[in-house]
Structure 1
């Protein structure tokens, strides 16, 4: 009986962790506000926007990486077409890549990055946001875990 109770409690604990809502942060690029979900843990970074069928025009997801390196992104199980901006430690966009739904093609930072910001495909081009542009609000992100 005692073993069953421990297993039951462990299962409940895992369920609560899996159901934990993603944190959010307000970022901005020039005059444009971004409501970004935060992916700062290995599990959240691995899940990303998988399974999402839509994002509002001002919504995105920011990935916080524990190490500065040339990170790559892909679109496994992600039905949305997305654009990803790779961002350095100072908050400047390094490069922007276009990602197609359900593709396992790698899209990588052109040089070491600390962050990646995924938005609806075309968002950066529509707003005329290009490499070298600085994002504001990254200092409010939680540290990577």
Structure 2
């Protein structure tokens, strides 16, 4: 007998026992006898039934879990992350409205899939420790100029990054801060390595 049929009989027997209270004696006896017969059939081959059920449920759960994980990963990789909290930075006499990416997942997504950014908007990546930071442009749709920034706000080096490329763009020394702006932004405003950014991340007012 198939495992599904056995489960059906077991459910019927359980229903019979649960509804036997309050019935006349003769009817109660009939119900119990009927239920016992069904239970006897169910447990003729309990080990085989449970093995079959266990395998079917395990396969079903594994398939469901894999589908769910694949769906979550695909959704995370195919969409821009929501706007992050912002901080005001200063570059010369210009104010920058920078979203703050401070967590590993925020670092990973960055500006991926964004289709535009305000003239003086950007994203600043904040890392826990100084290290050589390298960025690429996979799944990034807008061209960017990146500044690698020291703890005191000093720009260490700049680089231009083209959309949808996997070429690494790295800091020339270990840093904790990386600021991404629209392409040519630093060049347009004559901001060069050695100049300082101001604002809360660097411990200077803006």
User: Is the 1:87–1:115 Cα contact (8 Å) retained in structure 2?
Assistant: yes
CA distance in 2, matches of 1:74, 1:135: 23
Q: Post-superposition, which runs of at least 4 consecutive aligned residues in structure 1 deviate over 2 A?
A: 18-21, 138-141
Q: Does 1:104 align with 2:157?
A: no
Stretches of structure 2 lacking an aligned partner (at least 5 in a row): 1-75
**Quick one: which of 97, 121, 127 aligns to 1:65?**
127
- Structure that is richer in helix per residue: 2
CA distance in 1, matches of 2:141, 2:156: 25
* 1:22 alignment counterpart: 84
Question: What value does the CA root-mean-square deviation take over the aligned residues?
Answer: 1.9
**Quick one: which of 76, 95, 101 aligns to 1:39?**
101
CA distance in 2, matches of 1:53, 1:91: 28
> TM-score normalised to the size of structure 1?
0.81
The higher radius of gyration belongs to 2
Q: Number of aligned pairs? A: 125
Return closer, same or farther for 1:23/1:94 CA change in 2, 3 Å cut-off: same
> TM-score normalised to the size of structure 2?
0.58
**Quick one: which of 77, 80, 91 aligns to 2:153?**
91
- Structure that is richer in strand per residue: 1
Match of 1:43, SS state, is helix
* 1:13 alignment counterpart: none
Match of 2:198, SS state, is coil
CA distance in 2, matches of 1:112, 1:20: 29
Stretches of structure 1 lacking an aligned partner (at least 5 in a row): 1-17
Q: Does 1:115 align with 2:170?
A: no
